[in-house]
Amino acid sequence: MGQILAIDYGKARCGLAVTDDMRIIASALQTVETKFLMGFLKKYFSENKVEDIVVGLPTDLKGNLSEVETDILKFIESFKIEFPAIQVHRLDERFTSKMASFFISQSGKSKKQRQEKGLIDRVSATIILQNFLEQRTR
């Protein structure tokens, strides 16, 4: 069985999280500048067996898609061409950034560490992935 990788896609940077090979534990992986995301994934996939990715679906409280969705759809289209064997899933990412900020604030990190946007992106990706894993077991 291969890993599942989650992407909290943003215009400037993307938070990444990944499961272990048994798909039990979701862990933060890295924050990557969006313009380097595809290159990072090529390298990561060459070194690790990834069978699925989960990309956050950015919606507001009313269920309307955020404007970054256009960029996400372009990314997914390119991703499917580059990696046709890897299954792409989408998952509503409402509140993940707020939840990530809350969890980070509770973690005992310094104020400077808590304000690092890359950390919020990684934790958001981890929450997306954990939610995806929980939905699959239901």
DSSP-derived secondary structure for the chain: --EEEEEE--SSEEEEEEE-TTS--EEEEEEEEGGGHHHHHHHHHHHS-EEEEEEEE-B-TTSPBPTTHHHHHHHHHHHHHH-TTSEEEEEE-TTHHHHHHHHHHHTT--HHHHT-HHHHHHHHHHHHHHHHHHHHH-
How many whole angstroms from its chain centre is CA 105? 20
pTM recorded for the entire structure: 0.84
Instruction: Note down pLDDT in tens along the chain; length 138 residues.
Output: 899 999 999 999 999 999 999 999 999 999 999 999 999 999 999 999 999 999 998 887 677 777 889 999 999 999 999 999 999 999 987 656 555 455 555 555 555 554 556 677 888 899 899 989 988 876
